[in-house]
Amino acid sequence: MKKIILPILIGAIGVTFAIADSDKESNIYAKKTLTKQNAKLEPLYKKECSECHMAYQPEFLPKRSWKKMMATLSDHFGTDATIDKEDSKKILKYLSSNAADSKRVYGDFRKFLKSIPKDKTVMKISEIPYFKKEHREIPKKFIAQKEVKSFSNCKACHQKADSGDYSERDINIPNYGRWDD
Amino acid sequence: MKKIILVTVVPIFISAAPIDGFLQQLEAQAKKENLNFSGFSAKRGEQIFTSKHIGKRGKKISCTSCHTGDLKATGENIFTGKKIKPLSPKANPKRLQNLKKVKKWLRRNFKDVYKREGTAQEKGDVLLYILKN
């Protein structure tokens, strides 16, 4: 008699997220696949850091920014976002190993990184010079309105922000509509 | 003959409400801190939940700023705009089930509203208020 035992492995093995869309001219989202480091820690990050806003892609900020952010959660943009010590360590590991300057990043992630002065530790993606440049044409009233509130609310305009897709065809600004430039 | 055995891990759920155990712990602590302590009060809890204080950001804020005055209603994080499901376990059975989560949010939220952690008595009062409404 033969027994075949199939253990079911739960856990992400080699999770990657593909960045769709390729813009011929600037090749913003090259058809490349970003490998996630420490993919098994991703669910913890996504759970703990999406309670008040979406879980931002770690590739948007350099390591030094994540380090400072995780060390200052008791005053996180004016709110207390403290996390259990063990979880906090794991999240920092996930964030710093996937940070923009920890691995090869492409497209906008790379442009964002390159625009940050070396001697600055930015705490907001929305304060990165290249971010500001990309968003400078949007009238203020569409940001201040209650459906958006601030640039931190990426998902209000970028409908697929959760999956790391910020391509123009999926932008829909509340009370304005699609963005064509 | 071939047998295919599928091995899965089934989590075991403990049936007694974990929040009851937590309230007992808070009660023991409250007795130590306050000799006149005579049980938690949902009425005091309501006061804690609805009264306004100069919070972490230097502006008047209360628990109801995000959770609304109706525990069965959907609230909104005033800092980020993200919706918050109702706090009352009667409207949202997932509430007050996970103690780690309850402790984490009481710590954070008291800091935001009261600029300090809640005492054992305050936490018990406010939890009782949430449980009853």
In a domain? residue A20 = no
Asked if pLDDT for residue A139 goes beyond 80, the answer is: yes
Answer yes or no: do A79 and B6 touch at CB < 8 A: no
Q: Is the pTM of this model over 0.80?
A: yes
Backbone angles phi, psi at A127, to 5 degrees: -110, 0
Chain B residue closest to A50 (CA)?
B82
Judging contacts by C-beta atoms under 8 Å, the chain A residues touching residue B84 are none
Judging contacts by C-beta atoms under 8 Å, the chain A residues touching residue B10 are none
Q: Is A69 helix (H, G, I), strand (E, B) or coil?
A: helix
Query: Hey, how many other C-beta atoms are within 10 angstroms of the C-beta on A127?
Result: 12
- What does the pLDDT profile of chain B (133 residues) look like in tens digits? 556 555 555 444 445 689 999 999 999 999 999 999 999 999 999 999 999 999 999 999 999 999 999 999 999 999 999 999 999 999 999 999 999 999 999 999 999 999 999 999 999 999 999 999 9
In a domain? residue A168 = no
* Cα–Cα distance for residue pair B125/B133, rounded to 1 Å: 13
Chain B residue closest to A152 (CA)?
B80
Q: How close, in Å, is residue A162 to chain B by CA atoms?
A: 14
Find out whether A153 and B81 touch, Cβ atoms under 8 Å: yes
Residue extents of the structural domains in chain B: 40-132
Answer yes or no: do B100 and A78 touch at CB < 8 A: no
Chain A residue closest to B109 (CA)?
A80
| Residue listed under structure tokens 């703990």 | A48
Query: Hey, how many other C-beta atoms are within 10 angstroms of the C-beta on A33?
Result: 11
Answer yes or no: do B104 and A149 touch at CB < 8 A: no
In a domain? residue A171 = no
Pick the CATH number of B40-132 from 1.10.760.10, 3.40.50.720, 3.80.30.20, 3.40.605.10: 1.10.760.10
In a domain? residue A163 = no
DSSP assignments along A82-126, one per residue: ---HHHHHHHHHHHHHTSTTTS---HHHHHHHHHS-TT-----GG
Q: Domains in chain A: how many in total?
A: 1
The answer to whether ipTM exceeds 0.90 is no
Give the DSSP letter of residue A146. T
Answer yes or no: do B104 and A5 touch at CB < 8 A: no
